A = this chain, B = another copy of it.
Amino acid sequence: MAKFGFVGLGRMGIEMAGNLLKAGHEVSVFNRTIEKADPLEELGALVAHSPGEVCKGTDVVFSILADDGSTEEITLGRHGLVESLEEGAVHACMATISVELALRLAKVHQSKRQGYVSAPVFGRPPAAAAAKLFVVASGKHASIEKCMPGFEAMSQKVFSLGEACEEANVVKIAGNFMLASLIESLGEAFALARNYEIDPDLFLEILTGTIFPAPVYKIYGGMIAKDSYEPAGFKLPLGLKDVGLALEAGERKGVPLPLGSLVRDRILTGLSRGYEEFDWAGIARVSADDAGLKPIK
């Protein structure tokens, strides 16, 4: 069993760290709001008071924070990972962060002879709880190797990409872009169907019973058929952030993403209409509005 650190105990992180403990690993955890660590302490976690403290004697520190800003802070800030991680130890960043930040973190860690791995995940909190996440990892093979026991405890499958750490970020960003696109296409299709007085539940049953049998169509299509977007699994502003990451990643390499642009504008419109608490399936409400459809309820 390895000794791991874990930083960031949000809805995902708490489950992931829990699974590390359940798998028998020794885990030291940090979260800004320290009370969140209580349930993990009961499972045997050591509770640290800074990201740096988490690094003591650990081979790998996993982190999963909300965005670039907070990831940057726990890594590059005072008492952060770069300052405290031992030589040869690895920081595996599992958050959805920008290509730019991933490249920057990798460079700084390397300058300290620390390893850096980008290892974002696909899956929502229930999948995290069930250790059914998918991990997509890129970075030096030796560094990924050190993370594997941890990844395995948290996921149903690990996909290893190349040694360029940003590859995993791009895959995650592209995946989220595709989800946003799928929601947009559902939103427009439902607006069309509804204006022809087609029953939305039957419409969804046909779509998912024929050519679109994937669970994502059922999940997002279900919210759209009900025209009900709360409580949110993943809020609209997070969607804006992730589509923004895709557009930035595209711009870095000269890749126009017109569908990404479309979805970004849709989300901005939704936010202007006060949908900031909606799940990002609520992108569909914008299509419905524009088609003259009043909210159901």
Contact = CB atoms under 8 A, between A and B. Distances in A.
A246 interface: yes
Interface string A160-186: 011010110011011101110110111
Given A122-B210, A189-B178, A256 B265 contact: yes
B196 A170 contact: yes
Interface stretch (A15-23, A56-64, A104-112, A200-208): A200-208
Contacts of A251: 240, 244, 268
A100 interface: no
Contacts of A197: 162, 164, 167
A214 B262 CA distance: 24
A71 to B, nearest CB: 20
A216 interface: yes
A198 B162 contact: yes
23 contacts: A134-B206, A161-B199, A162-B197, A167-B196, A170-B198, A171-B193, A174-B189, A175-B210, A179-B211, A181-B259, A195-B253, A213-B215, A214-B217, A254-B268, A254-B271, A254-B272, A254-B292, A255-B268, A255-B272, A256-B290, A257-B265, A258-B261, A258-B262
Interface string A254-282: 11111111101110110111000000000
The A contact surface, by secondary structure, is helix
B167 A178 contact: no
A100 B167 CA distance: 30
Contact of A191 (B206, B214, B255, B290): B255
A167 to B, nearest CB: 5
Q: Which of A189, A195, A216, A255 neighbours the largest number of chain B CB atoms within 10 Å of its CB? A: A255
The 6 nearest A-B residue pairs measured at CB = A272-B292, A261-B261, A181-B185, A256-B265, A195-B253, A256-B268
Number of copies: 4
Nearest to A138: B198
B196 A259 contact: no
A209 interface: yes
Given A122-B211, A192-B250, A210-B122, A202 B258 contact: no
A63 to B, nearest CB: 21
A258 B290 CA distance: 11
A244 B250 CA distance: 13
A234 interface: no
Nearest to A179: B211
Interface in A117-144: 122-123, 134, 136
A169 B271 CA distance: 24
Nearest to A188: B257
Nearest to A164: B197
Contacts of A203: 171, 174
A105 B216 CA distance: 37
